[in-house]
Structure 1
């Protein structure tokens, strides 16, 4: 699950960013600023997960998940939600290394019986599988990108339950590599994460396009790593939760499904 702490400033939309037709996309703030820079056609694409490939969770969905945890733990929904929010960083930055450790951590912080750990672990695994359900249109677009010869990688701020469920999802077969924050001991926009995904792809950064909804200041982070970046409108709609989002001066596309068209008409600038 990817539920930001309630104390973190959340953003559900970036009204200042306009969506342009695919043919009008200029990639990355650096390209917008200088027409002298030429961008070679990408040979790889790095994609964010939540809000990009699958819907970002809403506050309603977060509360519903907390209620399921509360039922397993025998505590109130408020206690369970507070434990989820309070453990957000530990679940994403590598302090908790497995779904079992996440379950034990939540049980302890809710003062629930230790006997509930196994059942909670199973629930967390189920919720993670549910979170990774992808739209058929998106899976088809990923297939088209693969058939076009592109290498694809995932880069996600994610907890161990998501990382463990990934390989069994319909998404995984479309990717050459997957990098998760909980396994790299770092979160976006840490250079460590972008270096890790570039190493996994073995592609020069200037030949990589990063695509994400902008949470975690990921778009600027990708550009600092030498990639080109494009923002995608948040999947799941404007009520999807995000954290660490900053204004993006580059261009945007409406969905990942627009990437095959964008890349098929790419012009070196």
Structure 2
């Protein structure tokens, strides 16, 4: 079947590599901004990570408040707001496109193929999305915290297909392999392709970066050729 859509992962796929040290330091800085013990705040933040990804906690502010409440810390609203802004500052940095991302998205759309996004992310990302470099180039963005589903849940891939108005066999999924997203895409009936990111930092325990035996590409700029020829290197 001809490729009619490309579904992209976001972090470490469309974005430049996210620095794990910077990521964890930013969470600690949130604790400092809130005026609480930064190490305890960091532990609390990651203890609630799944609930942030699936949207259970709602806004970033609600997440900060929940962590502080669990620490039994009374925190002024101004400090909560500052902690939220620290998170937003990190996410703005994390959303920087990798070098060939914007050009590739334009090329894919130019040849008449639709685009979608599936991202496991917290509430700050959809808030920043409208001003990102990708917003006008992705036809159907789906965020886990908005959809209430987290990759590799098959219903999330199915929902992307429904939004695109296509069957999964007409879609290529491209990701760096975190969260078993490639296996999830393959099981959903999509054609899954790994984007190699040797410069990416520590992968999650669910990463497929080192074990994926399916199709793989070295750069996003290979995707238009992949669409035309129907195969990857």
TM-score by length of 2: 0.89
Aligned to 2:225: 261
The reply on whether 1:57 has 2:21 as its aligned counterpart is no
Aligned to 1:138: 101
Distance (Å, rounded) in 1 between the aligned partners of 2:35 and 2:147: 33
Superposition pairs of residues 191-206 of structure 1, within 5 angstroms: 191-206=154-169
Q: What is the CA deviation profile of residues 151-184 of structure 1, one whole-angstrom value per residue up to 9, with x for unaligned ones? A: 0000011111112111210111110011111112
Deviates more, 1:132-141 or 1:195-204: 132-141
Aligned to 2:33: 72
Query: Which of 57, 71, 92 pairs up with 2:53?
Result: 92
Q: Name the SS of the counterpart of 1:171 in structure 2.
A: coil
Aligned to 2:189: 226
Distance (Å, rounded) in 1 between the aligned partners of 2:62 and 2:219: 35
Post-superposition offset of 1:149? 0.7
Classify 1:210/1:123 alpha carbon distance in 2 versus 1 (closer, same or farther; 3 Å). Answer: same
Post-superposition offset of 1:51? 1.7
The reply on whether 1:210 has 2:173 as its aligned counterpart is yes
Distance (Å, rounded) in 2 between the aligned partners of 1:57 and 1:132: 9
Q: Name the SS of the counterpart of 1:211 in structure 2.
A: strand
Aligned to 1:169: 132
For structure 2, the 5+ residue unaligned runs are none
Aligned to 2:81: 118
Query: In angstroms, what is the RMSD of aligned CA positions?
Result: 1.9
Q: Name the SS of the counterpart of 1:167 in structure 2.
A: helix
Superposition pairs of residues 178-189 of structure 1, within 5 angstroms: 178-189=141-152
Q: Name the SS of the counterpart of 2:136 in structure 1.
A: helix
Q: Is the 8 A contact 2:100 2:220 kept in 1?
A: no
Post-superposition offset of 1:193? 0.7
Post-superposition offset of 1:73? 1.5
Aligned to 2:6: 45
The reply on whether 1:248 has 2:191 as its aligned counterpart is no
TM-score by length of 1: 0.78
Post-superposition offset of 1:100? 2.5
For structure 1, the 5+ residue unaligned runs are 1-39
Query: Which of 152, 162, 170 pairs up with 2:115?
Result: 152
Q: Is the 8 A contact 2:51 2:57 kept in 1?
A: yes
